[in-house]
Structure 1
């Protein structure tokens, strides 16, 4: 079992410069900074029952134990790149390559199960693991390779260009029977217990480009391009029907590498990062976009609730909490010298020029300026009174009434503060480098000490 990721992350310190909030991505740690990442181009990521992280990369298959990477390779392996990481019921990891070689890991060794190069004909063919076979979806049809004796059973003819399985339900896009792609007709099938069911026939004068199907608990999504634009369809198991979804503008022209379902949302992994959508009344409603400058290929939530993201050209990065966001601030002459959290996902920053910057999830919503040019050394939010105490690195201090956003001069009452603690609704502890004081009713002029 690998070490808890939170135990190995280096504490991240942030220096905030500037005045304007530009982006809010989750705080991440790039794995190349934590460990010596063996590649930059990654296709798949998964976690096994022992909580090892497995990565399929351009240079091969790697297992990460929290400290280092172990590469797995077979002497008869025809290419370094491996794809399609899957786990069987025994917890063994399986993968494949573009030559049709099917591998599995057992006893810390990569084994070659079957070389299906004659079946796949140079195409990266999807596969699934059933109770008795490896089901291979190829340009000539669908085959079951029996696990016990490696005998081959052909389920049906026709080019299978995409496949996805959830539990016992498989979905496949199949071309016409003679194996040649048709401009007019492509079929979407569901397979369960060896039974094949037609879900929908797509008829168009335009060829279906790069079709991909994704299976989930109660639904399946189909994505393909038509005249360069992404098309989306959804199949719902409850109603047993296929509906066309309106493709969001933000997705129309992108390359979609993968679609997954997390937290009841659909995550689209694309050339412009991750788009998180909620399905409402057959409409995809955008919740947020993450990592817009990255080509994200896969995402995994591990047993510690860390989010692992693989990319096509920038390695692997991990977020231990998607709700902790990194703020990129444009550089300016003012320096951020103090900060405190407020209510309702808001926070306050103080600068070396006496400015108070109030932020919410959309950016700066309020700016206050103290008299003169002052270095704000400490900020304390009193939630019960909805006030903020502003301590200056000199013989000055102020309080801010957040109900009215008014500033009150508190003289040197809270100057050069090192710490604040609220004892109860009426008493506040203030400590500096030279004294410690408890104030009763701290925001009135004649508060007692």
Structure 2
């Protein structure tokens, strides 16, 4: 019953999942979410890096930061939490304070990644490599480019895209270069791993209306169309599906291109990321509405009426709803056909609603016990109270 009361009171768009906003958010602009190995949820926001413990937020900032807004939160195997500001500088949390990573001049927000033993970081002159354990600098792989686009790690190799060229650097620091996108005339491209099977690439402006899949050697496997999207802001893999974040919500695809859900989730949101936490809750972040949590994707929210709902009960054909304004509303199982059965024009909450399926009667309570049925019968108050007692509504 609690779930339905919350569901109705939200008054959200029809057919959207039941969600609730993260309480007491410090900002509505959230670029990235990550849940660490200890269960804390980290947010990269316009105000900096934050940690949420389920009750409070802790903001991590440093006087040495060039700017605080950023994204790309990652946890290394030693439990350090990292993020990159939009200037391209890396920061990490150590002993509960934000430390500045010593690095060469970045080339903008270009990406980094951890393999088993190394940290790879794209910079102005190429790719710098560091030991993960000590953060000691090892070498720079010289690569000439003007625009670094994105990066990821797949099968312990580091992949990145720059100037329409794709690169892979293995654990022995060998470099493979592929020119698949050289003549494609696509804008910024994002590269991601699909589980441990393949890599996929999408273009920010989705000029070709396609998603591209490659093997670990950057050989094209296949593509599939995504014509419904104009602007892509990121992607995630959850439940073996590809979640694509856009300026108009989230689209979910199977790896063969089939849409998993007919409609986009949260079309009012400029979506930035989705994660599934350790308790199987879904967290949705956006740059205009902050963070919302969805306990179950199959729980839908329906807009039935403008009033706040106090109680509801099931009937043979749908539901009865009692409102704070003393109304009783009848609706079908799909919450599509709504009818006001009773309205007193006063703000007198309907505290109890009960449907007697045997007698086909509606029993309700506001200032006292009342009854409405199709034959205009009136029961004695004691009989009505007994029905409430049998139903567990009175003790």
Q: Does the TM-score normalized on the shorter chain lie above 0.5?
A: yes
Measure the CA separation in 2 of the matches of 1:203 and 1:414: 83
The aligned counterpart of 2:330 is 356
Q: 1:286 to 1:355 in 2, by over 3 A?
A: closer
Measure the CA separation in 2 of the matches of 1:214 and 1:207: 20
The aligned counterpart of 1:391 is 362
What is the CA distance between 1:61 and its match in structure 2?
A: 1.3
TM-score of the aligned structures, taking structure 2 as reference length: 0.77
1:213 pairs with one of 164, 167, 191: 191
Measure the CA separation in 1 of the matches of 2:237 and 2:359: 41
Deviates more, 1:223-232 or 1:107-116: 223-232
The aligned counterpart of 2:202 is 223
Q: Secondary structure at the match of 2:264?
A: strand
What is the CA distance between 1:195 and its match in structure 2?
A: 4.0
Unaligned runs of 5+ in 1: 1-8, 176-185, 399-408, 422-427, 437-449
The aligned counterpart of 1:233 is 212
More strand by share: 1
Measure the CA separation in 2 of the matches of 1:224 and 1:75: 35
The aligned counterpart of 2:347 is none
Q: Secondary structure at the match of 1:329?
A: coil
Answer whether contact 1:277 1:287 (CA < 8 A) is retained: no
Answer whether contact 1:397 1:413 (CA < 8 A) is retained: no
Q: Is 1:124 aligned to 2:109, yes or no?
A: yes
The aligned counterpart of 1:279 is 255
1:47 pairs with one of 22, 35, 43: 35
Output one character per residue of 1:141-187: Cα deviation in whole Å (capped at 9) or x when no partner.
32213443633523351434211224524432233xxxxxxxxxx33
Answer whether contact 2:209 2:225 (CA < 8 A) is retained: no
Measure the CA separation in 2 of the matches of 1:367 and 1:13: 16
Deviates more, 1:160-169 or 1:69-78: 160-169
What is the CA distance between 1:67 and its match in structure 2?
A: 2.0
What is the CA distance between 1:52 and its match in structure 2?
A: 1.6
Alignment of 1:39-118 (within 5 A): 39-116=27-104, 118=105
What is the CA distance between 1:381 and its match in structure 2?
A: 8.9
Q: Secondary structure at the match of 2:77?
A: coil
Answer whether contact 1:220 1:235 (CA < 8 A) is retained: yes
Answer whether contact 1:391 1:417 (CA < 8 A) is retained: no
RMSD of aligned alpha carbons:
4.0
2:120 pairs with one of 135, 138, 141: 135
Measure the CA separation in 1 of the matches of 2:199 and 2:356: 48
Measure the CA separation in 2 of the matches of 1:174 and 1:134: 18
Measure the CA separation in 2 of the matches of 1:270 and 1:381: 48
What is the CA distance between 1:294 and its match in structure 2?
A: 0.9
What is the CA distance between 1:126 and its match in structure 2?
A: 0.1
Q: Secondary structure at the match of 1:115?
A: coil
TM-score of the aligned structures, taking structure 1 as reference length: 0.69
Output one character per residue of 1:351-383: Cα deviation in whole Å (capped at 9) or x when no partner.
7887632133xx52x67898xx6899635597x
Measure the CA separation in 2 of the matches of 1:154 and 1:226: 32
What is the CA distance between 1:291 and its match in structure 2?
A: 1.0
Deviates more, 1:99-108 or 1:234-243: 234-243
What is the CA distance between 1:286 and its match in structure 2?
A: 4.1
Alignment of 1:144-183 (within 5 A): 144-147=129-132, 148=134, 150-159=136-145, 160-175=148-163
Q: Is 1:25 aligned to 2:27, yes or no?
A: no
What is the CA distance between 1:328 and its match in structure 2?
A: 2.1
Aligned length: 372
Measure the CA separation in 1 of the matches of 2:298 and 2:166: 38
Measure the CA separation in 2 of the matches of 1:163 and 1:142: 11
What is the CA distance between 1:82 and its match in structure 2?
A: 3.2
Measure the CA separation in 2 of the matches of 1:99 and 1:295: 22
Measure the CA separation in 2 of the matches of 1:100 and 1:336: 49
What is the CA distance between 1:297 and its match in structure 2?
A: 0.8
What is the CA distance between 1:90 and its match in structure 2?
A: 1.4
Q: 1:227 to 1:100 in 2, by over 3 A?
A: closer
Answer whether contact 1:339 1:347 (CA < 8 A) is retained: no
- Give the number of the structure whose alpha-carbon radius of gyration is greater: 1
1:339 pairs with one of 312, 327, 337: 312
Q: Secondary structure at the match of 2:98?
A: strand
